[in-house]
Amino acid sequence: MRTAPSIRAVVSDADGPVGRYDRDDRGGHRYADLFDREPGVSAERAAQALLAQLRGWRIAADEELGRALVAGGGRLLRHAHLMSHDLAVRPAWSHPPGHRLTDVDRPATDLVDAYIAAFPPGHVDHRDEPRDSALATLERHLSGAEFGPPLRGSGLAVAEDGTVACAILLGTLPGRPPLNGPWLIEVFRHPEHRGVGRALCERALALADVDVLGLMVTEGNPARALYEDLGFRLVRSALVVQV
């Protein structure tokens, strides 16, 4: 995901253009996002050019090219699916038993426990980061520093004891849908509170004042089935490879 306006760049070899990508710098890494091969360019040819010219970068490529990059010595970081919802039909929503759904009216310190617990070791989206790093990530999200001000539909599921059980944060990726635009930046649920994730997603889709909403879900994350059931459609799949 991009956090600032990106630069569309071209990779070429001796035979001409190989592909185009959005250049991004974030978290101390250079990214070639949304890499699209030129018509007729094989995955093997594109991989050779990328391995020669973008060594040290992280490449978000189609699955065939991603596999070619891994075969050439790259390290797979993520297999993910970009999905989009046109919001033509808005679901009904209600408060799940034992919880109330609210706007995001709590500080990051109240969200961080659910954020960490949602992705334990062994989960495909496990974040191996200390608590202060996770807290800083949430603070950036809530402040709008990375994805602009949280959009309407962002919300929390709060348990009867006042703890945050689940959160959904909507923001904006620079660019046009469905590859960018309004975005489901984060959704995380404490595993002790089952059922609230769907309710919070339904609230977000009902209240969001945008016409389309995108997200990325990692291969193997069971949440993908929920997103499909809610009406999100697959746009493209990609492998993110460190070369």
What tens digit of pLDDT does each residue of 141-152 get? 999 998 999 999
> What pLDDT, on a 0 to 100 scale, did the predictor assign at position 24?
84
**Distance between CA atoms of residues 218 and 205, nearest Å:** 21
Instruction: Give the model's confidence band at 208: pLDDT under 50 very low, under 70 low, under 90 confident, else very high.
Output: very high
Q: Tell whether the model's pLDDT for residue 30 goes beyond 90.
A: yes
pLDDT tens across 87-96, in order? Answer: 999 999 999 9
Instruction: Compute CA distances 139 → 102, 103, 106, 127, 159, whole Å.
Output: 18, 16, 11, 16, 22
Range with the lowest mean pLDDT among 16-30, 42-56, 138-152, 192-206?
A: 16-30
State the pLDDT at residue 2: 42
**Cα 169 from Cα 231, distance rounded (Å):** 18
Does the pLDDT at position 48 exceed 50?
A: yes
With CA atoms as reference, report the closest residue to 166 among 233, 98, 228, 214.
Answer: 98
Distance CA 142, CA 148 (A): 9
pTM equals 0.88
Please check the confidence at residue 98 and state whether its pLDDT lies above 60. Answer: yes
More confident site: 164 or 3 = 164
| 194 SS3 class | coil
- Confidence band, pLDDT 50/70/90 cuts, at residue 6: low
Short-list 12, 31, 30, 9, CA closest to 20 = 9
Handedness of CA 105, 109, 114, 115 (dihedral sign): positive
Torsion of CA 79, 37, 30, 85, to 10 degrees: -50
